[in-house]
Amino acid sequence: MRVLLLGGNGQVGRELRRTLPALGEVTVATRDGAGADMAADFDAPPALQALVQRLAPDVVVNAAAYTAVDRAESEPEAAFRVNAEAPAALARACAVTGALLLHYSTDYVFDGGNARPYREDDPAAPLGVYGASKWAGEEAIRAGGARHAILRTAWVYAAHGRNFLRTMLQLAAEREELRVVADQIGAPTPAAWIAEATAHILRRGVPASGTWHLTAAGGDQLARVRRGDHGRGAGSGSAGALPARAADYQRRLPNPGAAAGVFGAGHREAARRFRPRAPGLARRAARHRARTGPGALKALRRA
Ligand SMILES: NC(=O)c1ccc[n+]([C@@H]2O[C@H](COP(=O)([O-])OP(=O)(O)OC[C@H]3O[C@@H](n4cnc5c(N)ncnc54)[C@H](OP(=O)(O)O)[C@@H]3O)[C@@H](O)[C@H]2O)c1
């Protein structure tokens, strides 16, 4: 299998560099080509399309995205170019060459108003530019005529890159007291697991195009995830984590996991939906329940 990995420097992209080579020949592209086989600039969608058509891989895995949720509000053109126009160009190229396009999306396509975990067929209602741009990317891929698998995930963390756990470790080391959001619920999902699940899904094959939720099992308040650091020697003499409301931070974008709407039905559900195509996913899912509290931080320190 010949795989083209786009976005090889991101949280998920770096983990995919580890898991995809087991499938065959992997060509890794990053924004400027540094530390990779080539450059693939999502700010130039037509060139991206030409690149994919020239390489004609069997599978294109798109881990690149404009992920600066707050900044997207003041840079909508940039967010839509990378998250919608570029995936549309990828879908056009894959439709021409017959490649499978595996793409990642987000819980931000929803508004967080659900009292139950979101299902794949729940109506999208993005609240901000980032979510709207990711939803537009999904729609463009579905309309583009290529075979595709869209995997929506949430609350991604890794030992590298920018994520909430690393931010909390840093803040805990710097501050005496932390105020942490207590009214958001989500399923912290390791980038490493997303990469393993991706390789597993590709190995088993994706006979029909579709959209699936892929998050760690369970879900929890951000405050509990963050409280994992409390008193566990992360470098702070922290007085502890005080609960706060997301609105206290005057974020312009309500987190879609707010209002008790845990995104995704978890690994087990993803595994059920993929069965019988990916029977091993259920077993793997069981080993990768969403880690909250000390578990998540311990895992991060071990990584
Ligand atoms: N992070 C989360 O919590 C989260 C939650 C739900 C869904 N997702 C989705 O999961 C996927 C992977 O996310 P992630 O956490 O791995 O994101 P990430 O760490 O922010 O990585 C995104 C990658 O995209 C690249 N990129 C951005 N603009 C580009 C451009 N114009 N041209 C080429 N490359 C560009 C970045 O390159 P540079 O390294 O050069 O900046 C970076 O390597 C994305 O589709 C994201 O929307 C993420």
Annotated catalytic sites, by residue? 130
- What are the CA-CA distances from residue 128 to residues 107, 210, 275 (Å)? 12, 24, 34
Q: Helices 191-204 and 266-274 meet at what angle, rounded to 10? A: 10
Distance 7 CA to ligand 1 centre (A): 7
Looking at 3.40.50.460, 3.40.50.300, 3.30.70.890, 3.40.50.720, the CATH number of the domain 2-161+189-217+263-288 comes to 3.40.50.720
Average pLDDT across the chain, whole number: 76
Report residue 142's pLDDT band, with 50, 70 and 90 as the boundaries: very high
Retrieve residue 212's tokens: 């699936």
pLDDT at 44 over 90: yes
Which of 62 and 285 is assigned the larger pLDDT?
62
Query: Is residue 180 classed exposed, middle or buried when 0-12, 13-18 and 19+ CB atoms within 10 A define those classes?
Result: buried
Q: With a cut of 80, say whether residue 183 has pLDDT above it.
A: no
* Mutation test residue for ligand 1: of 5, 16, 31, 148, the one with most atoms within 8 Å of CB: 31
- At residue 111, the pLDDT reads 81
Q: Model pTM? A: 0.80
* Domain extents in the chain: 2-161+189-217+263-288
> What stretches of 180-238 show up as alpha helix (H) in DSSP?
191-204, 222-227
Which pLDDT score, from 0 to 100, does residue 95 have? 98
Residue 167 pLDDT class (50, 70, 90 cuts): confident
> 238 CB under 6 A from ligand 1?
no
